[in-house]
Amino acid sequence: MNVLQIEGGFRLRGEIEVSGSKNIALALLSAVALCKEPVTLRNVPRISDTHMKAHLLEEFGAKVDWDGNNLTVDCSGLKMGYPSEESVRAIRTSFYMLGPLLARLGEVELPAPGGCKIGARPVDYHVRGLQLMGAEIELTGGKYYAKAARIKGADIYLDFPSAGATQHLMSTAVLAEGVTTIQNAAMEPEVVALADFLRAMGAKIEGAGTATITVFGGTRLHSCSFRVPADRIQVGTFLLAGAITEGDVSVVGIMPEDQTAVVNKLREAGAQVEETSETVRVRVDRRLEAIRIRTMPHPGFPTDIQQPMAATLTLANGTSVIEETIYESRSGHVPELVRMGANIQSEGRTSIIHGVKRLHGANVVASDLRAGAALCLAGLAADGVTTVENVHYIDRGYEAIEHTLSALGGKVKRVAVEPRKVR
């Protein structure tokens, strides 16, 4: 198995670019199924999730052609497919293909996605929205079977501004007859990017990025070439890598407006942050101060940055409080950070972090993607060597994280080791 070995104590300095966004690429790789002509996605991150999703499209008859970070998908010959339960469980957004496939094929069967280590993650808003659009949906034997002679426009209200449900229903509505409105829609940048992509294929959509989205269905979709924007969660992670090591890190080629929550909280903690139209630079020259964080739907503080931020605050002066409001159990990083010397009390979804002066290297295990990123950050700032196991989680969201961190002066290596016999 591979582990990441991190020798801590080096300040990260320099300028980097990040890859295209995982979550945008995954949303686009559901929506491509809507189009009968080939579509080219540029700047697609070469991570395990995008490969698996592309493979899943092939199971439904799509032709998929990678050329570096460009991916051309031809869904002209789409047909019924029977993906395994493992593949839908492995990447949750596989399930978000249900609507686009249904709109194209009239019927589709997909395994239920199931929960994961950060929470139960039900799909009730997705199912209810598709039903309002005329789908008949049954869940039997762990599989959803959906049928619809035609998909029609509907007025949909989401109980919570779910990013996935907004993206799924907005995409499906493009092939519906009539107008669909989605109220209490998610306002995440990933929703805006998806709407840009759908419009590039000929869809008519208004309001993406606000709480009310209107889709005028039934337009003819055509080929397009679309560049996946930079990954805002990677941006936040690497800015925090600069902050935790009291370094000086700039991330270029990004949309700074997507970093507002992270930037403001870093400033509140005492970091110096400069923004230009395409760059954010974070400099820290003294110990950060404790702050309070509450995760919220966009434009609130992103849940996906909560764990890396927790790692950063373990070394801040004073007591920080982080409240996770999106997921029930996004706290797998906590016991591992404690192994490294952090002083954290968990109470339900709240972490109370009493800042310590030093962390020390240890063998730690990533419980999920962002927990893994948090442990890498802690390792960069710790005394001695940290070994992070379960690198496959980190690989789901960061293309070769060791290269990016090394480019900034971190001492990070991927090393093959014998699997441990007893956990």
Figure out which of the listed residues 25, 194, 370, 372 binds ligand EPU, where binding follows CB under 6 A. Answer: 370
Distance CA 299, CA 337 (A): 28
| Minimum CB distance to ligand EPU, residue 349 (Å) | 11
Nearer residue to ligand EPU within complex by CB, 4 or 123: 123
The set of long-range contacts for 76-83, using a CB threshold of 8 Å and a minimum separation of 24, is 76/36, 76/37, 76/38, 78/33, 78/104, 78/105, 79/105, 80/105, 80/107, 80/108, 80/109, 81/56, 82/109, 83/56, 83/59, 83/110, 83/111
Figure out which of the listed residues 18, 57, 97, 125 binds ligand EPU, where binding follows CB under 6 A. Answer: 125
163 binds ligand EPU (CB under 6 A): yes
Q: Please confirm, yes or no, whether 116 is among the known catalytic residues.
A: yes
**Residue number with the smallest Cβ distance to ligand EPU:** 164
189 binds ligand EPU (CB under 6 A): no
Enumerate the β-bridge partners of residue 411: 7
Figure out which of the listed residues 19, 23, 331, 367 binds ligand EPU, where binding follows CB under 6 A. Answer: 23
Q: Is 207 left (phi over 0), alpha (psi -120 to 50) or beta?
A: left
164 binds ligand EPU (CB under 6 A): yes
| Minimum CB distance to ligand EPU, residue 282 (Å) | 21
Residue 195 token pair = 């709407």
Residues 6+ apart with CB under 8 A from 152: 133, 134, 176, 177, 178
45 binds ligand EPU (CB under 6 A): no
Distance CA 153, CA 207 (A): 16
CB 391 within 8 A of CB 2: yes
294 binds ligand EPU (CB under 6 A): no
Nearer residue to ligand EPU within complex by CB, 14 or 122: 122
126 binds ligand EPU (CB under 6 A): yes
Total site size for ligand EPU, rule CB under 6 A: 27
Residue 97 token pair = 């293909």
- Residue of 75, 116, 224, 376 with catalytic role: 116
Tell me the window of 63-71, 118-126, 210-218, 235-243 that interacts with ligand EPU (CB under 6 A).
118-126
Residues identified as active-site: 116
